[in-house]
Structure 1
Amino acid sequence: MSESIPQHAGPPLLHDPAPDFRARTTMGDRSLADYRGGWLLLFSHPADFTPVCTSEFIAFSRAAGRFEALGCALLALSVDSLFSHFAWIRSIHAQFGVKVPFPIVEDPSMAIARAYGMIAPQAPDASMVRAAFVIDPAGTIRAISWYPMTTGRNVEELLRLLAALQTTDAHDVSTPEGWQPGDDVILPPELTPEAAFGPQDQGGDWYFRTGPLPKKARGRSR
């Protein structure tokens, strides 16, 4: 079972420290602190053996190498027991030929789910435990997404989001709608009168400039 977790006044928000915990998983005990120094995607499920979540586990398992290439570990969480987790991943392997390569945390007391604001303090069940948290190497929450029980998450979008966060961190730029690695980025505006009132690029303005990553930044590592 998970160890006691300090309770906060409200759910964690973007740029808050991710609540730490230590709990049993399908790959031994894990603590959030174990992942410090690398990126982490923590994604939760309301129960094992649910069809939507099963489809996601298959997709996450098949994309695990792509997350690893971005320096990001995967960590799943469900309120069911460790015994149920093992039965579920055994079924996934038997029925779909997919081995789940990441740990699944057991949270039968819903203590971790409550600490992350996935369910209200007095909620009677775990139907809202359908969240994904992108946590950076410093242990800070950088993105949060929520999905209902009826709708599967998009693993490709989570990979895109992770790559975008890493790009903006490394190069001091922003990414536009639908950005993909290799696309043009949004460059910082030049906050000078000359830039604001001078000639503008076609299709843009001083506050909205797009282009390739600056040459001096392209060789930086994440």
Structure 2
Amino acid sequence: MSTSNNMGRTTQAQPKPGVNVCIVKKEITNKFNEIITNALAEQLVVLNKRKKDLYRWEETEKKEFLDIFGRNEIEANKWLLRGVEAMILVNQRVKSNCFKYQGDECIFAKVQGGISSENPVIVGPKFFHAAVKGYDSQVSTLCHEFSHLSEVLYTDDLSPPGKNAETTSAEEYREHAENLVKAKSRDVMINGYNIERYFE
């Protein structure tokens, strides 16, 4: 936009400070909300499918469950079905304002007790570079994190014997989850990394 000054010269009007910054911030916020909203919608699709699988519980469902967890007794089915139904309730309750981006940590996501706008799920750069569904995806990550909630399954991320959480890498957590399956350990039902595999 141009304006004339008193001397008859035309000058270019300067944008107000901060206007472009606000526009960029709004675009980033909108994209964040869009990604989270889409991930939650896709998570609900996967959760509803798994709920149907657990209710159906025929040979195909039992075999897949056995392949993932190393066990498929009815008690494990009931345990996870309760967890899936609780995850669905959490999914339907939370919105994008219950998530907060934290770029200084190289993480997918983490919950801190409960989930609310005052106590959001922390999501990191890895979450936004992940596929929506599948291995190490946004959906499987949300299911992993939701499983930690006391109202869901109250899972933990179980470290390998002799290791602690601070020194255990993501690869070591996954390897330990696989070892729990091979050992047919009951711990597969309380380990976030094992639960995540059911939603990949």
Considering the TM-score relative to the shorter chain, is it more than 0.5? no
| Higher relative strand content | 1
Q: Structure 2 length as normaliser, TM-score? A: 0.29
Q: TM-score, normalised by structure 1?
A: 0.27
Please identify which structure carries the higher helix content. Answer: 2
